Amino acid sequence: MNYDEAKKKFISTWGSLGTLWGINKAMAQIHALLIISPEPLSMEDIMQELQISRGNTSMNLRQLMDWGIVFKENKMGERKEYFTSEKDVQELARQIAKERSRRELKPTIKILKDVSDIEDDGTLKTKELISQTKALHEMAETLDIMMNKVVGQDHNWITKALVKLIK
């Protein structure tokens, strides 16, 4: 496999993996492209490499920036904007963990709490609803605490902790 084949394969894999995780194809592919690019890329560069429209590129770059994993960069003397990805994969993981906690886990936890707090009217179905949502609530909270711990730690913490954990 040569460079071009490998690059293509990486970008398309990352793209289809993205859809599996609720991230759209273009967004995941732009990210893949940036993460392996040694130089910042302009919007034109991205459009051309991935064969996607200007609007699409603009929208998805904005989203990646909202996630805190892609940054604008200005080359001095140039008007055009350039984009780079966070290159440190551990930092990337931390950023993603942080955002998923904020966007998905936290709101879910709140609803599980509300639902599990309804009054027990003594019926079997109510008892079941309460006990199951309580269990889910507890698990979601544990997961959330862990994810947020990760965010606050130094760089190599994840690997160290995992190694310790699996021994």
Partner DNA sequence: TCGAACTTTCAAAAATTAATGAAACATAAA
Partner DNA sequence: TTTATGTTTCATTAATTTTTGAAAGTTCGA
Site for DNA in 70-89 (CB under 7 A): 78-81
HEC letters along 73-114: EECCCCCCEEEEECCCHHHHHHHHHHHHHHHHHHHHHHHHHH
Interface segment toward DNA; rule CB under 7 A; list 5-13, 25-33, 84-92, 98-106:
25-33
Looking at beta carbons only, is 48 or 126 nearer to DNA? 48
Q: Which residues contact 15 (CB under 8 A, 6 or more apart)?
A: 25, 26, 28, 29, 32
Which of DNA, a copy of itself, none lies near 3, with the C-beta cut-off 5 to 8 A by kind?
a copy of itself
What does 51 bind: a copy of itself, DNA, none (CB cut-off 5 to 8 Å by kind)?
Answer: DNA
65 lies in the binding site for a copy of itself (CB under 8 A): no
Cβ contact 69:104 at 8 Å: no
Find tokens 């990805």 and name the residue.
85
Site for DNA in 52-71 (CB under 7 A): 52-56, 58-62
